[in-house]
Structure 1
Amino acid sequence: MRLLLAVVIIFSAITQGHALEISASLLYKVTSGKQATPADVVIESADTAGIYDAFNGSYTIYRNGSAVSSVKKEFLKGGNCFVKNGNYYLYCNNKGNSLDMLSPKFEVYSSAKLAVFDPTDVAVSGGYAYVADNDNHRIVKIDLAEAKEAASAGKYGKERLQFWYPYAVAFNQAGHLLVSEVLNTRIQKITKELKFYEFIGGWGINQGQFYRPTGIALKGDKLLVADGYTGLIQYFDKDGKFAGVLTDTNGKKLKFGSVTHIRVTGSTLAVVDAFEKTVFIFQLKEKN
């Protein structure tokens, strides 16, 4: 009995010692005024971020928290996402029922239009853009070279390859597309061919569960999921198992007002808090 207890204690110590912890150190934050709606953020470099303001139709570059340039365009008003892909940007233009491709000067050089379309996020792989079509409960695959729909999958529902307000999308290292579903309160993992792979999470307020999952991002093989209701950001390992809740450097859980998009590049995390009208920029640190 003593031997068994000793083995259990040793095993517990080993697993706890190898548990991954991710903490976030605040680098700076940008808070907008009442007449602004920060909707998305692009991590341009380690010290530079661009904030897309859907209310004013603007994209403003900040370096270490100070604005250095800004562009305003009428067609940028009211959009849902703003994502950089190589040397151009992808814009979720829900008013125009399109996914627009923008030059570095923010001019539309290509546009994939659909009859009915409510794009809220986009991820790119192999020359295709995979778009969350929120109101239509589906994922749309767009051929970027042809600027047209190549395929789509999904309809309203709770089963496999059915969605209930898909919001954010991101590819993991294995090449699977992860989709947050706000009202199905889960992450659905599908293939590039739009086939079902597995579910992650489910409704609840316990560890590994979601109440209103919104923004998602990948840091290496770890999946970060923001909850628009609880204000927490949870992270999961490569197998989709709960691994922890994002904390500050003192171990206190980070809590936001209502997160929409989150973005990760390298060790930089950007969080868009719609309720606080603030974009937070953090440096992530991992510790075993």
Structure 2
Amino acid sequence: MKQFIYIIAAAAAMISCTEKAAVPQDWQYEKTISLDDINPIGIAMDGNDIFLSDGDHNRVVKVDDNGRMMFEMEGFERPMHIDFGEADFQITDKVTTSMLKERALFVPEYGRDSIAVMRDNKLDYLVLKDSLDAPAAISVYENEIAIADFYPNRVLFYNGTDWISIGTEGKELGQLYYPTDVQITEDKIFVADAYNHRGQVFDKTGKGIAFIGADQKINAATGVFVNENEIFLTDFENGRILVFDLEYNLKQILETGIDKPTDVYAQDGVLYITNYRKGELVKYTLKDIIDEKV
């Protein structure tokens, strides 16, 4: 009888743990962080370190979670949506050419039509077999790289072997109109299709497979971020972040504290949003939804 009771108790504990894990959560506003003379366009994180591209001042800065500048890297020409990555990419310092085999910060320079690579305070440039015209974003995933090429209305994608051009100008599935951000995941490429006012999803052959938020009356979708559970899309002119599940269904709309957002980054239950014009970081945290019914 005791053994039977123990089994029932263990089963009840397992059910209790499962129910606890299934508690629904959403993103809740925590605070607005003022940045001193920084107008952030893109955000990337290296561990807990926060890096911001400040296109108005032609630099990339590292800040702490209170917005205090730790250091700055200057000399860029309109840096945009940045990313960290580690892969065997060919780089040059204009004198020698070598292979990048370590983690680095990739900085698309909108005003220089190039991709800068920063590592150990050394500046190099990505070697490309195609020309860029105002690169607005970069994403690095393992040995793949994607660049949102603004004026040609395309994404330039390196699949580990070959470079391919994805997208043409237009409004149909598979077409783009001034893409401003991009992210590679295991099997897809997500694009902030800014002036088609939507997000768009491609497979890695370059085929358009889905729209995101096309029915949400977005006005300039400037940034996109994807984690293991959700897709985040910035709505620049409307001052919102739209949160979708991985099936592209709208889950949540974030508005508190948000004004002219250009980018977003989420990890470990913390969400940072760049308020470009006001020079702010907005912090949200993932919390359990409390049932207020009596």
Scaled by the length of structure 2, what TM-score is found?
Answer: 0.76
Contact 1:233 1:245 in 2 (8 A): yes
Letter in 2 for 1:259: P
Aligned to 1:22: 26
Instruction: Indicate the SS of the match to 1:183.
Output: helix
Q: 2:208 — aligned with what?
A: 196
1:85 alignment counterpart: 85
Q: Give 1:165's match in structure 2, choosing from 172, 175, 178.
A: 178
Higher relative contact order (CA 8 A, sep 6+): 1
Q: Which residue of 1 aligns with 2:74?
A: 73
What is the 5 A alignment of 1:196-235? 196-205=208-217, 210-235=218-243
Name the aligned partner's letter for residue 90 of structure 1.
F
* Structure 1: gaps of 5 or more residues: 1-17, 247-252
What is the aligned-residue RMSD (CA, Å)? 2.7
2:169 matched to which residue of 1?
A: 156
Unaligned runs of 5+ in 2: 1-21, 87-102
Residue 253 (structure 2) aligns with: 245
User: SS of the residue aligned with 2:282?
Assistant: strand
Deviates more, 1:49-58 or 1:106-115: 106-115
Aligned to 1:3: none
* d(CA) in 2 for partners of 1:95, 1:111: 17
1:64-121 C-alpha deviation (Å, 9 max, x unpaired): 31536313332x1312122112420111012221222221314215443743422111
Deviations 1:201-224 (A, max 9, x none): 21554xxxx232221112322111
Indicate if the aligned counterparts of 2:201 and 2:211 stay in contact, CA closer than 8 A. yes
The separation in 1 between residues aligned to 2:174 and 2:201, in whole angstroms, is 9
SS of the aligned residue for 2:112 comes to coil
Assess, with a 3 A threshold, how the Cα gap between structure 1 residues 186 and 20 changes in structure 2: closer, same or farther: farther
Query: Relative to 1, partners in 2 of residues 1:107 and 1:230: Cα closer, same or farther, differing over 3 Å?
Result: same
Distance change in 2, residues 1:112/1:178 (3 Å): same
| 1:83–1:122 CA contact under 8 A, matched in 2 | yes
Runs of at least 4 residues off by over 4 Å: 18-21
Alpha-carbon distance between aligned partners in 2 of 1:138 and 1:128, rounded to the nearest angstrom: 16
State the number of aligned residues. 253
User: Percent of counterpart pairs with the same letter?
Assistant: 16
1:107 paired with 2:113, answer: no
CA contact (8 A) 1:28 1:282 kept: no
Distance in 2 between residues matched to 1:45 and 1:95, nearest whole Å: 29
The answer to whether the Cα contact below 8 Å between 1:43 and 1:270 also exists between their aligned partners in 2 is no
The answer to whether residue 36 in structure 2 is matched with residue 32 in structure 1 is: yes
The answer on whether the counterparts of 2:82 and 2:107 sit within 8 Å (CA) in structure 1 is: yes
Quote the Cα distance in structure 1 between the aligned partners of 2:131 and 2:183.
25
Deviation at 1:51, TM superposition (A): 2.3
* Separation (CA, whole Å) in 2 of partners of 1:233 and 1:126: 27
- The structure with more radius of gyration: 2
Residue type of the alignment partner of 1:231: G
Distance 1:96 1:234, change over 3 A: same
Question: Aligned pair 1:177/2:183, yes or no?
Answer: no
